[in-house]
């Protein structure tokens, strides 16, 4: 069956599957129900689970269908976020007793990727062409874990291309490069004493943390453009009248390139060492995770954009547009603000139709994704698909409010079909795949994949 026919037959089932994941939002590393549902769907459509608990991650998996090369992989995510429980209504309304919510739309992301894998495999068999479709179940993206650990364990090494997507507020083949990132904790160790009766005998680990934070804040003026630093104090002591012998700070560092990231991280280590010396304390460093920046493959962007030229975007009903306008109202986004940012008429019609054209250049954006490490190993592309209104902030109740209902589901089905058509073209056109690989080699240059940590 053709890809178009497949979606005509199975779209309702995919929408229902995405809602099942939405109804059971799960924390990173604990996506037991979500991964089980996705695996069951794949098996029911002729896929074999090649590896469960891939790369030592309990909720990661690898599934495949087909024979021979090329190898095309689709990447699925399915973890939720804490504090973003929300009913499918256009105003803040958490679900009672539910802590997590799909405020990043990974219920859609995972289901759409699974649908694309199945549709591509069916179309290949209909056309009697060789090739193998892989679906990679990639957990824990929200804590920057899944694909990074899988990449370190060589899970993606044999692929000819990798395809993914993410819910957004506009439809486009992504030229965006996510930032390189390092997540690290600094634990300071001092000496406890009575803060009033024997302060001279104490060595305050909290003083060291605070001095480090001051130093890092002064460092911000002297970092490359695009660098971001965020932190929280994890432990500041137990009582004010006890000099804290233990204190810790958790730092995120982001940069446009991995090279800049390493430069700033080294400066941050110097700041920590200085804070320890000033307070007579010691410190230990615990690196949690880290990722590279995204490598964009222009030829692959163009393939995906050509597919988007041929596939119409979602058609939005008046009820869906009204729902979206109410979300904008509750977010405090006025008509004037929305139209100044996104163009005339975008408040009245706040759900994107059509798609944006590529610019022909890599666009640095804020935020990070573990997808970036895959992009160093294999030609990788993704698209953003409109699943919520213009200007809706990601990781918010408003996203959760859309990802469990028709707006998010329509965006997912559009993205899924674009992914499937892109994968099918790469599998069936050897010359096209060769051009994509050449474009990847050029984009990579002399770089080779190395984990950030």
DSSP string over 6-65: HHHHHHHHHHHHHHHHHHS---TT--HHHHHHHHHHHHHTT-EEEEESGGG-TT-EEEEE
Please give the structure tokens belonging to residue 141.
């993206």
Query: What radius of gyration, in Å, describes the C-alpha atoms of the chain?
Result: 24
pLDDT tens digit string along 338-373?
Answer: 999 999 999 999 999 999 999 999 999 999 999 999
Distance CA 270, CA 268 (A): 5
Q: What percent of the chain has pLDDT over 90?
A: 99
- Is it the case that residue 177 has pLDDT exceeding 90? yes
Residue with tokens 């994890």: 234
Residue 453 banded pLDDT, cuts 50, 70, 90 = confident
Do domains 3-177+294-444 and 180-291 share one topology? The answer is no
Predicted local confidence at residue 166, as pLDDT: 98
**To the nearest whole number, what is the mean pLDDT of the chain?**
97
Query: What would the mean pLDDT of 49-54 be, rounded to a whole number?
Result: 98
Query: What would the mean pLDDT of 38-46 be, rounded to a whole number?
Result: 98
- Is it the case that residue 14 has pLDDT exceeding 90? yes
Predicted local confidence at residue 336, as pLDDT: 96
Which strand (E) or helix (H) includes residue 67?
strand 61-67
- Is it the case that residue 1 has pLDDT exceeding 90? no
Distance CA 133, CA 106 (A): 21
CATH of domain 3-177+294-444: 3.40.630.10
Angle among Cα 314, 320, 323 to the nearest 5 degrees reads: 145
* Residue 71 neighbours by CB distance under 10 Å: 19
pLDDT tens digit string along 311-324?
Answer: 999 999 999 999 99
Give the start-to-end residue ranges of the domains of the chain. Answer: 3-177+294-444, 180-291
- Is it the case that residue 116 has pLDDT exceeding 90? yes
Burial class (CB in 10 A: 0-12, 13-18, 19+), 17: buried
State phi, psi for 186 to the nearest 5 degrees. Answer: -115, 120
Q: What percent of the chain has pLDDT over 70?
A: 100
What torsion, rounded to 10 degrees, do the Cα atoms 194, 198, 201, 203 define? 40
* HSE toward the beta carbon, residue 280, CA cutoff 13 A: 10
Predicted local confidence at residue 243, as pLDDT: 96
CATH of domain 180-291: 3.30.70.360
Query: What would the mean pLDDT of 325-339 be, rounded to a whole number?
Result: 96
- Torsion 430-431-433-437 (CA) sign: positive
């Amino acid at each position: 069956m053709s890809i178009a026919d497949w979606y005509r037959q199975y779209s309702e089932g995919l929408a229902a599957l995405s809602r099942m994941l939405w109804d059971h939002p799960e924390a990173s590393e604990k996506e037991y129900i979500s991964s089980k549902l996705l695996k069951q769907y794949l098996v029911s459509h002729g896929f074999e689970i090649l590896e469960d608990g891939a790369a030592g991650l309990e909720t990661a998996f690898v599934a495949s269908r087909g024979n021979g090369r090329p190898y095309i992989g689709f990447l699925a995510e399915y973890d939720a976020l804490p504090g973003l429980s929300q009913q499918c209504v256009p105003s803040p309304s958490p679900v009672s007793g539910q802590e997590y919510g799909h405020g990043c739309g990974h219920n859609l992301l995972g289901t759409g990727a699974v649908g694309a894998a199945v549709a591509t495999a069916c179309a290949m068999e209909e056309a009697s062409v060789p090739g193998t479709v892989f679906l990679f179940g990639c957990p824990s993206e929200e804590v920057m874990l899944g694909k990074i650990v899988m990449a370190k364990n060589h899970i993606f090494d044999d692929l000819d291309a990798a395809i993914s997507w993410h819910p957004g507020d506009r439809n486009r083949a992504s030229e965006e490069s996510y930032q390189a990132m390092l997540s690290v904790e600094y634990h300071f160790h001092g000496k406890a004493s009575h803060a009033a009766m024997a302060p001279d005998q104490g060595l305050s680990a909290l003083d060291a943390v605070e001095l480090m934070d001051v130093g890092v804040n002064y460092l911000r003026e002297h970092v490359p453009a695009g660098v971001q630093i965020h932190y929280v104090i994890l432990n500041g002591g137990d009582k004010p009248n006890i000099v804290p012998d233990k204190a810790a700070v958790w730092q995120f560092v982001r940069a446009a390139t991995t090279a800049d990231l390493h430069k700033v991280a080294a400066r941050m280590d110097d700041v920590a060492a200085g804070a320890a010396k000033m307070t007579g304390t010691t410190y230990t460093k615990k690196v949690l995770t880290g990722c590279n920046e995204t490598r964009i493959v222009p030829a692959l962007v163009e393939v995906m954009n050509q597919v988007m030229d041929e596939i119409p975007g979602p058609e939005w009903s008046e009820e869906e547009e009204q729902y979206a306008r109410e979300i904008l109202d509750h977010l405090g986004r006025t008509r004037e603000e929305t139209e100044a940012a996104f163009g005339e008429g975008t408040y009245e019609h706040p759900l994107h139709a059509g798609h944006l054209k590529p610019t022909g250049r890599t666009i640095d954006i804020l935020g990070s994704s573990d997808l970036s490490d895959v992009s160093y190993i294999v030609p990788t592309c993704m698209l953003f698909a409109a699943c919520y209104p213009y200007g809706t902030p990601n990781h918010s109740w408003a996203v959760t409010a859309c990802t469990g209902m028709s707006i998010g589901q329509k965006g997912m089905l559009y993205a899924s079909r674009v992914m499937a058509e892109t994968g099918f073209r790469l599998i069936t056109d050897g010359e096209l795949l060769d051009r994509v690989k050449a474009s990847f080699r050029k984009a990579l240059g002399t770089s080779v994949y190395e984990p950030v940590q």
